[in-house]
Each structure stands twice: as structure tokens, then as C-alpha cells.
Amino acid sequence: MNKTITFHYHGTSGASVRMSPSGCYLEGEYDKVRVRIYAAGAPIRDASFEILADGESLFTSLTSVDSNGVPTGTSNAVIVLPANTNGEELADDFNSETLGDGAWVYCNMLDAGGGSNFAVELELEQLSEDEQPD
């Protein structure tokens, strides 16, 4: 069965906050299909979010470099709702990892960008059927 997880944050915040629900347990193996971000009050600067499964980003990791172009490590990729927009759909920035049976998925709003009342939807496609007891 396919699944859509919707994370909410009602209000605005200047600091990183965990969106509700605080975590979603996956029963089965899933592939990522798309993410939709919506804000009732559009942000005045880019709003940024991260979606994690067991602490790892679902999106392509970014490699940070210093001023000489030397890699300094990796950081979790973020997804963005651009300034002055109410909605965004993303489907091509996912990493190649599938979400395993038993994974915990959660979403953090890193910067509200001055926006308010956010919803982030993660659409998943199930790869394995749940084992049914006899």
C-alpha cells in the first residue's frame, strides 16, 4: 500500500523545530516519490526543511567545500519553499536509498523564512508487502 505522510507546523518560528507528527514508523519497504510543501502564509525569504529517516537525509547529500574547493565534509540536504510562494513540489532530489521496514521518518523545519502554517507531504510507494500472519 502506498503512503503519504503529512507533517504540520501551525505558526511561525525563527529556529529549527520538529514538525508534527514527531515521527512516523514505516511498516514495510518504501521508495520516495515526491514531496509537496505548502504554507498558508508565504515566506518572505526561502523557508527550509529537512526530512530524515533514522537520522539520515532523504535527499542528495551536499558536499561542503572551503574557499579553495577542498571538500570539508557532508551535510544533510535541505528542501526549500521559495520566498513569496505558497507551494512547491519536488521529485528529483532524492538519494538512491530506499526506506527500510522499521524506519522512523520525521521532518524538521530549519527556517520558516517568515512564513506560517506549513504542511510538508512525503509521498511513498511500497516496495514490499507486509507479512500477514496465518
pLDDT digits (tens, 9 = 90+) for 84-119: 999 999 887 888 889 999 999 999 999 999 999 999
Task: Examine residue 134 and state whether it is found in any structural domain, yes or no.
Answer: no
Task: Examine residue 131 and state whether it is found in any structural domain, yes or no.
Answer: no
pLDDT at 134 over 50: no
| Structural domain range at position 7 | 3-126
Number of domains in the chain: 1
Residue 100 cell numbers, joined: 527500510
Task: Examine residue 90 and state whether it is found in any structural domain, yes or no.
Answer: yes
Tell me the C-alpha distance between 60 and 57, whole Å.
8
Is 74 strand, coil or helix?
Answer: strand
Please tell me whether the peptide bond between 133 and the residue prior to it is cis, using omega within 30 degrees of 0.
no
Task: Examine residue 133 and state whether it is found in any structural domain, yes or no.
Answer: no
pLDDT band at 14, cuts 50/70/90? low
pLDDT at 71 over 90: no
pLDDT at 133: 44
Q: For residue 72, give the CATH number of its domain.
A: 2.60.120
Task: Examine residue 29 and state whether it is found in any structural domain, yes or no.
Answer: yes
pLDDT digits (tens, 9 = 90+) for 35-46: 999 999 999 999
Contact (Cβ atoms closer than 8 angstroms) between residue 118 and residue 112:
yes
